[in-house]
Structure 1
Amino acid sequence: MRSSGKSGGRGNHRGAGKDRDQKQGQGRPRRPRPEERRYDVGPGATKDGPKSGRGADGAGRRGRPAPSRPREYEAQIEERNRQRYAGRKDVKPPKTFPGAEQEGERLQKVLARAGFGSRRACEDLIDQARVEINGEIVTEQGRRVDPEKDEIRVDGLTVATQRYQFFSLNKPAGVVSTMEDPEGRQCLGDYVTNRETRLFHVGRLDTETEGVILLTNHGELAHRLTHPKYGVKKTYLAHIVGPIPRDLGKRLKDGIQLEDGYARADHFRVVEQTGKNYLVEVTLHEGRKHIVRRMLAEAGFPVDKLVRTSFGPITLGDQKSGWLRRLSNTEVGMLMQEVDL
């Protein structure tokens, strides 16, 4: 009895499922399973199959094809969009300063690179009418210049552009005042071998003399700094043994007769005295060979040690022996002012 009940129940269940499928078949079409849905596109797509995309899938689910817009309607949309944008004016470029189309660099950028501070600080210099280009005071911001051709001045001092380089070396004793030495001795060129441009020295110091010597690649400035016409003064500290007479300074300023003519000092003073040892300062504008040593020796006081402490406005200060330093833009401007550049 149990066995027949079980089989009967099983049969009733299957029969009920058949009857349900038959009833569904008589009504609306059943929803296709995901694996049964059609996703054909292009010429091979059937009339009832979806074309593409989500909307087409939805249309396929409803059992009707996706609607398509008439060509006339699409043409109307295109025409409406064309009219919408046809009346727009061309976009204007941002306003710029006069002469922006010219070549060159902005003035404040050149000044900042030359060491006058930030670009904002350089703009303040322009606003204060402290900057000149080729003799004309600049009043507007954004002016363009050619650092290779234009002469730029700040407060009357010429600005050193990146084209030129200026250095001061505290030359040690024993270094030859040449850029190369065929005998292999230590020379000035040994201190600038890593520079990107060829430098040359301004004037000379004898081998045993220490102190300031300038190096640059500005030929005209170097020429004028050493030319007697411009009379650029150099100051030396000399160690001599005394006692020295009170009129030694007067004798040096009046002129000492040397084999190549008279040599005169512009200034003389005693800096320090320790017993018979004297440290004296001599300033002159001549540049003859060994001139300080020869003048003091002729006056009866051979020099034990000699240091050049300044060349024009460039001073030795606390610069250590053998150290090379780049001149500031102000120092370069003062040098050029000395020789009317």
Structure 2
Amino acid sequence: MPDDEPQGIRLQKVLAAAGVGSRRASEALIAAGRVEVDGKVVRTLGTRVDPARAVIKVDGSRITTAEAGLVYLALNKPTGVVSTMNDPEGRPDLTGYVLGRKERLFHVGRLDADTEGLILLTNDGELAHRLAHPSYEVLKTYVAEVPGPIAPSLGRQLRAGIDLDDGPVRVDGFRVVGRSGTRVMVEVILHEGRKHVVRRLLDAVGHPVKRLVRTHLGPVAMGELRPGNTRKLTPEEVAALYRDVGL
């Protein structure tokens, strides 16, 4: 019986195609009870699934399949580009980085035009919604260039919380990562998503931002991705995003 008949595709083939391991290794995972399909552990070799619809997890981490037609991209947004797929004012927007793709992609993680760095692009609507929703408190990491010197107590002050015009905000992490003359590079980690929050926060404590880059969104790192370039997320990165938002 062919693997691609309407009743589904053999689970071990789906796992192998998703990069979990060889078919033999995937069969061992199934036999060991480490694979779930739609919330139920599957131990029977040869079980057939619809990879476009089934929720498949290995050791509790969800995997994605090519058959599902889902796209996950990381973009290093340059300065001067607005975080929208269609800017009514005609400014450079995100559409220029997805030309030729047939899928309708959502952007995850807004950045103002003067801020560069990591934005995710995907057609996985539920994941995009959860990553953007404040209740899931997805961490975002930024590196900011500010005037120094930095007081040793600043990190403690930011973790305790700063009152802004629209309410208090506190960071989840803060450290100095570099110095050059009077310029200081600081890393700020927070789960807030309010407009210009990092700039407003640092300005409020006397360190106005000269340059701002988002380097991480949840478990995904921008790494060596150059401004204006995109890359596909790895299966491990997608699985980590699912874990962060409880999918």
Instruction: Please report the TM-score for the alignment, with normalisation by the length of structure 1.
Output: 0.68
Question: Contact 1:115/1:328 (CA < 8 Å) preserved in 2?
Answer: no
User: Which position in structure 1 is the counterpart of 2:193?
Assistant: 287
1:200-242 CA-to-partner distances (Å, cap 9, x unmatched) read 1013011111111111111111111111111110000000111
How does 1:206-221 map onto structure 2 within 5 Å? 206-221=112-127
Q: 1:242 aligned to 2:148?
A: yes
- Letter in structure 2 aligned against 1:281: E
User: Which residue of the partner structure matches residue 56 of structure 2?
Assistant: 152
The equivalent residue for 2:138 is 232
Of 195, 201, 209, the match for 2:107 = 201
Give the 3-state SS of the residue equivalent to 1:229 in structure 2: helix
Which segment drifts farther, 148-157 or 206-215?
A: 148-157
Letter in 2 for 1:154: V
How many Å separate the matches in 2 of 1:324 and 1:272? 27
Corresponding residue SS for 2:134:
coil
Output aligned runs, 1:80-229, within 5 Å.
Answer: 103-161=7-65, 162-229=68-135
State the AA in 2 paired with 1:188. L
Larger Rg: 1
| Structure 2 residue matching 1:318: 3-state secondary structure | coil
Q: CA deviation at 1:101?
A: 8.3
Counterpart code for 2:74: S
More displaced, 222-231 or 106-115? 106-115
**Segments ≥4 residues shifted beyond 4 Å:** none
Relative to structure 1, the CA distance from residue 319 to residue 117 in structure 2 (aligned partners, 3 Å threshold; closer, same or farther) is farther
- Which gives a bigger RCO, structure 1 or 2 (Cα 8 Å, sep 6+)? 2
Q: Are 2:175 and 1:274 equivalent residues in the alignment? A: no
Query: Structure 2 CA distance, aligned partners of 1:181 and 1:122?
Result: 46
For residues 5 and 229 of structure 2, what CA distance do their matches in structure 1 show? 44
Root-mean-square deviation (CA, aligned residues, Å) is 1.8
Aligned residues: 243
Select which of 315, 318, 325 maps to 2:224.
318
**What residue identity is the alignment partner of 1:150?**
A
TM-score by length of 2: 0.92
Looking at secondary structure, tell me which structure has more helix per residue: 1
CA offset at residue 260 of structure 1?
0.6
- Over 3 Å counting, the alpha-carbon distance change for 1:253 and 1:104 in structure 2 is same
Deviation at 1:102, TM superposition (A): 6.8
Contact 1:234/1:285, CA 8 A, preserved across alignment: yes
CA distance in 2, matches of 1:121, 1:237: 41
Given the alignment of the two structures, is residue 300 of structure 1 paired with residue 206 of structure 2, yes or no? yes
C-alpha distance in structure 2 between counterparts of 1:128 and 1:213, whole Å: 38
Whether contact under 8 Å (1:102, 1:144) holds in the other structure is no
Which whole-Å CA distance do the structure 2 matches of 1:238 and 1:186 have between them?
23
Distance in structure 2 (CA, Å) of the matches to 1:251 and 1:189: 40
Q: How does 1:26-65 map to 2 (within 5 A)?
A: none
Distance in 1 between residues matched to 2:5 and 2:100, nearest whole Å:
38
Quote the sequence identity (%).
Answer: 56
